[in-house]
A and B are shown apart, each in its own frame.
Chain A
Amino acid sequence: MRIEFTPDQLALQKELRAYFEELVTPELQAELDAGGEGGGPEFRKAMRRLGADGWIGLSWPKELGGREMTPMEQYIFTEEVMRTGFPYPFLTTEAIGPVLHEYGSDQMREAVVMPILRGEVVIAIGYSEPGAGTDLASLTTRADRDGDEWVINGQKVWTSLADFSDYIWLAARTDPGSKKHRGLSLLLVPNDAPGLTVSPIWTMGVRTNATYYDNVRVPAENLIGGEGNGWALITGQLNRERLSLVNHGSADTLYRRVAKWAADTESPHGGRVIDQPWVQTNLARVKSGLEALKLICWKQAWAMTEGNLQMADASVAKVYGTEFFLEHYRLLGEIVGQAGGTIQRDSPGEILKGRLEFMYRVGSILTFGGGTNEVQRDIISAAGLGMPRSR
Chain B
Amino acid sequence: MDFSLSDEQIELQNLARQILGDQTTNEHLRDIEAGDERFDEKLWADLAEAGLLGIAIGEEQGGMALGYESLCLLVEEVGRSVAPAPVIPVLVSAGMAIDRFGTDEQKQRLLPGVVSGETMLSAALIEPLNEDPERPLARAKVEGEGVVLDGIKTCVPFANRAERIVMAAQQDGGVGLFLVDPQAEGVALARQNSTAGEPQFEVRLDAAHVASNDILAGPEEGARVLHWISQRTAAANCMMAAGVVDRMTRMTAEYTAEREQFGVKIATFQAVGQRAANCYIDSECLRLLAQQAVSLLNEDRPADDEVTIAKMWVGDVTHRVSHAAQHLHGGIGVDRDYPLFRYCLWAKQLELAMGSTAQLTARLGEGIAREFSANA
Contacts and interface: CB of A to CB of B under 8 A. Distances in A.
A267 to B, nearest CB: 13
Contacts, number: 158
Q: Would you call the interface of chain B mostly helix, strand, loop, or mixed?
A: helix
B1 A5 contact: yes
A390 B368 contact: no
24 contacts: A1-B4, A3-B1, A260-B375, A274-B373, A280-B365, A281-B362, A283-B369, A285-B361, A287-B364, A288-B364, A292-B285, A292-B288, A295-B289, A306-B4, A316-B281, A316-B284, A378-B273, A381-B273, A381-B276, A382-B273, A385-B276, A385-B280, A389-B268, A391-B268
Interface of A: 1-6, 9, 72, 259-260, 262-264, 272, 274-275, 277, 279-285, 287-288, 291-292, 295-296, 298-299, 301-303, 306, 312-313, 316, 319-320, 374, 376-378, 380-382, 384-391
> Which of A1, A6, A301 counts the most chain B CB atoms within 10 A?
A1
Contact of B270 (A5, A9, A374, A376): A374
Contact of B277 (A1, A378, A388): A378
A285 B313 CA distance: 10
A380 B282 CA distance: 12
A306 B295 CA distance: 20
A388 B368 contact: no
Contact of B368 (A72, A287, A380): A287
Closest 6 CB pairs of A and B: A280-B365, A377-B277, A284-B365, A263-B372, A385-B253, A295-B288
Contacts of A283: 365, 368-369
B53 to A, nearest CB: 22
A284 B292 contact: no
Contacts of B362: 277, 280-281, 284
Given A259-B372, A274-B373, A389-B268, A377 B278 contact: yes
A380 B280 contact: yes
B313 A302 contact: no
> Which of B253, B273, B366 counts the most chain A CB atoms within 10 A?
B273
B83 interface: no
Given A6-B1, A280-B366, A292-B289, A387 B276 contact: yes
B267 interface: yes
Contacts of B265: 388
A294 to B, nearest CB: 9
Contacts of A291: 289, 292, 305-306, 309
B314 to A, nearest CB: 11
Interface in B250-291: 250, 253, 256-257, 265, 267-270, 273-274, 276-278, 280-281, 284-285, 288-289, 291
Interface of B: 1-5, 69, 249-250, 253, 256-257, 265, 267-270, 273-274, 276-278, 280-281, 284-285, 288-289, 291-292, 294-296, 298, 305-306, 309, 312-313, 361-362, 364-366, 368-369, 371-373, 375-376
B281 A3 contact: no
Given A260-B375, A320-B285, A378 B276 contact: no
A233 B222 CA distance: 61
Contacts of A260: 372, 375-376
Contacts of B364: 284, 287-288
Contacts of A388: 257, 265, 267-268
Given A386-B253, A387-B276, 16 more contacts: A1-B3, A1-B294, A1-B295, A3-B292, A72-B1, A260-B375, A274-B368, A285-B361, A287-B368, A312-B280, A381-B267, A384-B280, A385-B277, A388-B267, A389-B268, A390-B273
